[in-house]
Amino acid sequence: MSHDIDAAPVGTPPSRRATIRRASERGHYDRDTLHAIVDAAWLCHVAFTDTRGHDESGEPFAVCLPTACWRIGEALYIHGSNGSPMMRRLASGVNACVTVTHLDGLVLARSAFSHSMNYRSVVAYGRFTVVPDADKPAALDAFMARLLPGREHEARPADDSELKATLVLSMPLEEASAKVRNWGPRDKDQDGDHPAWAGVLPLATTRLAPVPDERSRATGQPLPPSVRAWLDADPGPAPFSS
Amino acid sequence: MSHDIDAAPVGTPPSRRATIRRASERGHYDRDTLHAIVDAAWLCHVAFTDTRGHDESGEPFAVCLPTACWRIGEALYIHGSNGSPMMRRLASGVNACVTVTHLDGLVLARSAFSHSMNYRSVVAYGRFTVVPDADKPAALDAFMARLLPGREHEARPADDSELKATLVLSMPLEEASAKVRNWGPRDKDQDGDHPAWAGVLPLATTRLAPVPDERSRATGQPLPPSVRAWLDADPGPAPFSS
């Protein structure tokens, strides 16, 4: 993910609204970058327009909610209860915007103005469609495997009534762009002599020691293969080039 | 933030659209909870409706973008370039939705269906207004102090041309709700004998060793008070009650 800030964006914008306009040197449109950012996330923010629940004139307003997500091939998946207003609204085929963001560091420059953040983000526009009943078990298995590889072999799979209560939606990752900032501060030349220390304060998502529930603790149940592999596979912080 | 799952939500919903409907036992409407979740974040997701850049009929679509945020009193602030399409759109007073989310852990239940995540989130509806020029320096100082306490005394403050190039917007945190899940798996009774290990895999945002930029490294510049205090003040993982 190292990136030359003077280089042109990688790949081609798929549409006008998915074109990066601000800080376009941070833009990426290639599949590898998009997929890596989505695959590093357990959740996304889904935005869509609504009018219900608004006290005024029926002017549309945007709703933005966090939800778990996973990728299969070129599509992003979410799931939820059949009764969820968000899921029902998205299942109706309204325009949606899905955003995935990782904050990788605070960037301290010599001037307040040049402070920044290192991050990786993906913004995808599109419409969700309902995953048919026949494809639901495989899609939900892929979610388990994405949440925690191997967990799909340990947990009791969903039964018919649970599958029936669950809506699975997918959206193509076609109209999407990524933005990556992964370098140090870029002060203006005239600030070089200002005495403030400058650099990056990196942030990382750390995997802490698993906490068993009451029954697993009481029986002294050993950690399963999925959890042991998860602890071993901690990817550490995202790299950056100062 | 410990929370009895059988308790009613804390506080009163401020509006119909800001009422938590799904998993309402996770809902909070009190100022302390809202403020703590916002204050623990460096960035939010801002959603708003737009029609520009859309290839079809002019149907409104939601845009959802990550941006830095900070709180002063009962308002949430964001900033950006005068030339940013998002900032200009929000400055025009359209409806906005601001969402802040912290992912605190993966919740492994015995059944796939009961898997969950621990998280803290805030969703706020409202309209941004432009912070007047006279109030911008104080608002941006508060941002510096929020990004890294003490940094506002180290960095060169913004000069007139930088202030002019920067738009600062604020939105009241009135029509807002929080959602918190911070407990272990809740399996159905009949899954108690399924042999899968169950518990929580906690996640935490960790502060890694600061990386000086080229000039600070070359001169062997010591870490400033702001950064030393930041490293000492690492809050560690959010607590939860299994």
Domain A24-232 has CATH 2.30.110.10: yes
Note whether B85 contacts A22, CB cutoff 8 Å: yes
Residues of chain B contacting A19 with CB distance shorter than 8 Å: 53
Of A85, A184, A203, the CB nearest to B208: A203
Given pLDDT bands bounded at 50, 70 and 90, which one contains residue B20?
confident
Note whether B42 contacts A95, CB cutoff 8 Å: no
Note whether B205 contacts A207, CB cutoff 8 Å: no
Amino acid A25: pLDDT:
87
Note whether A155 contacts B214, CB cutoff 8 Å: no
Note whether B110 contacts A210, CB cutoff 8 Å: no
Q: What is the pLDDT of residues B47-62, one digit of tens each?
A: 999 887 776 677 889 9
Helix (H) or strand (E) holding A51: none
d(CA B147, CA B221): 21
Domain ranges of chain B: 24-185+207-232
- Cα B115 → chain centroid: 24
Q: What percent of chain B has pLDDT over 70?
A: 92
**B17 to chain A: closest CA residue:** A53
Residues of chain B contacting A86 with CB distance shorter than 8 Å: 22
CA distance A73 to chain B (A): 22
Give this prediction's pTM: 0.93
CA distance B172 to chain A (A): 16
CA distance B81 to chain A (A): 9
Closest C-alpha among A15, A139, A135 to residue A76: A139
For the domain covering B24-185+207-232, report its CATH number: 2.30.110.10
Note whether B60 contacts A49, CB cutoff 8 Å: yes
Note whether B111 contacts A158, CB cutoff 8 Å: yes
Provide the ipTM: 0.92
Note whether A22 contacts B83, CB cutoff 8 Å: yes
CA distance A147 to chain B (A): 8
Number of A to B CB contacts under 8 A, please give it.
Answer: 316
d(CA A1, CA A237): 12
Residues of chain A contacting B197 with CB distance shorter than 8 Å: 154, 212, 216, 221-224, 227
Q: Consecutive 10-residue runs of chain A (242 residues): their mean pLDDT? A: 48 86 87 96 96 74 97 98 94 96 97 97 97 97 95 96 97 96 94 94 93 95 96 74 56
CA distance B132 to chain A (A): 18
Residues of chain B contacting A40 with CB distance shorter than 8 Å: none
Amino acid B2: pLDDT:
36
Amino acid B78: pLDDT:
98
Amino acid B238: pLDDT:
66
d(CA A32, CA B123): 31
By the 10 Å C-beta count (0-12 exposed, 13-18 middle, 19+ buried), A62 is classed as buried
d(CA A228, CA B7): 35
Note whether A213 contacts B224, CB cutoff 8 Å: no
Site from A61, A162, A189, A219 to mutate, B interface, most B CB atoms within 10 angstroms: A61
Give the Cβ contact number of residue B152 at 10 Å. 18
Find out whether B176 and B124 touch, Cβ atoms under 8 Å. yes
| pLDDT over 60 at B242, yes or no | no
Of B98, B106, B215, the CB nearest to A147: B106
Residue type, A187: D
Closest C-alpha among B97, B202, B163 to residue A49: B97
Amino acid A242: pLDDT:
53
* DSSP alpha helix (H) spans, chain B: 31-39, 85-91, 136-147, 160-165, 214-218, 225-232
Of B47, B84, B209, the CB nearest to A47: B47
Note whether B46 contacts A64, CB cutoff 8 Å: yes
| pLDDT over 90 at B217, yes or no | yes
**A159 to chain B: closest CA residue:** B113
Q: What is the pLDDT of residues B164-205, one digit of tens each?
A: 999 999 999 999 999 999 999 999 999 988 999 999 999 999
**A153 to chain B: closest CA residue:** B196
Note whether B216 contacts A205, CB cutoff 8 Å: no
Residues of chain B contacting A240 with CB distance shorter than 8 Å: 211
